[in-house]
Amino acid sequence: MELVDVLNDKREKIGKICDRNGLNNGEYRLSVHIWIMNKNNEILLQKRNMNLKMYPGMWENTGGAVKHGESSFKAINREVKEELGLEVKKEKTIFIASFKRSKDFVDV
């Protein structure tokens, strides 16, 4: 079970914690999408596990839900370490944008 902070439609924490998939209508979580580029401006993509329910075997950028108590940067660090085995340096990160989807806000 992956616990997340629950947000309202203004991206404010409402003092509730739940499983990342247990949100009610009008509740949101925070997620991160990470785009890793090398010095040649090539983007690193990863292939999704074939056993996943959604989009098995498809190519994607790294990302995931921000856990309860984490910042977006801590989530970036954790996701990149878990999925790719790489370390992220804060001074090398660039915040691009944030957008709202049906059940989450996404920091890119």
Quote the CA–CA distance of 97 and 107 in Å, as a whole number: 6
Instruction: Give per-residue pLDDT as tens, 5-37.
Output: 999 999 999 999 999 999 999 999 999 999 999
pLDDT in tens, 92-103: 999 999 999 999
Q: Please, which residues have CB within 8 angstroms of residue 97's CB and are 6 or more apart in sequence? A: 107, 108
User: Cα 44 to chain center, whole Å?
Assistant: 16
Q: Which tokens belong to 64? A: 């995931």
Sketch out the chain's domains with CATH numbers.
3-107 (3.90.79.10)
pLDDT > 90 in the chain, percent: 99
For 51: left if phi > 0, alpha if psi spans -120 to 50, otherwise beta; the answer is alpha
CA-based end-to-end distance of the chain:
24
pTM for this structure?
0.90
Q: What residue type is assigned to position 65 of the chain?
A: A
